[in-house]
Amino acid sequence: MNLGTWLYTRLHGRRVGTDAGGNVYYQSRSTSAGARTRRWVAYAGAPEASKVPPEWHAWLHHTTDAPLATDQRRPWQRPHVPNATGTPAGYRPPGHDYSGGQRRHATGDYEAWSPEG
């Protein structure tokens, strides 16, 4: 959080809660007439929007009035995982250059396109 955001948060923010990843959620103490309450997040670590779990995402975007309860997760629901694209933990398909660049040969059902026709 930069100095301006930290100062605004200290002067105008009211802490609402935190998530399992350590992100802290705030909303404004007062609201102008006819305006919605301002809501924001102070990220734990580097600011990355995919770190916000679904229950807090719904609250941030005014879909719900209160954060959704995490204890109401269904048994088939997995825990929230941030998007790992572009990191070493990201998915790399077989044949990716970082994996050696080798992939299985085509099986014969593939015909390369050529502009000559």
| Residue range 49-103, pLDDT digits in tens | 999 998 899 999 999 888 877 677 788 888 888 888 888 888 888 778 777 777 7
d(CA 40, CA 17): 11
Q: Is residue 39 part of a domain?
A: yes
One-letter identity of residue 78: R
Q: Is residue 92 part of a domain?
A: no
- Let me know the angle formed at the C-alpha of 33 by 25 and 16, rounded to the nearest 5 degrees: 15
Q: Kindly indicate the confidence band of residue 36, based on its pLDDT and cuts at 50, 70 and 90.
A: confident
Domain region containing 17: 3-73+80-87
Question: The tokens of 114 are what?
Answer: 């050529």
The total number of structural domains in the chain stands at 1
Of 63, 53, 2, 4, nearest to 25 (Cα)? 53
Question: The tokens of 55 are what?
Answer: 């229950």
One-letter identity of residue 38: R
Q: Is residue 28 part of a domain?
A: yes
Q: What is the pLDDT of residue 23?
A: 94
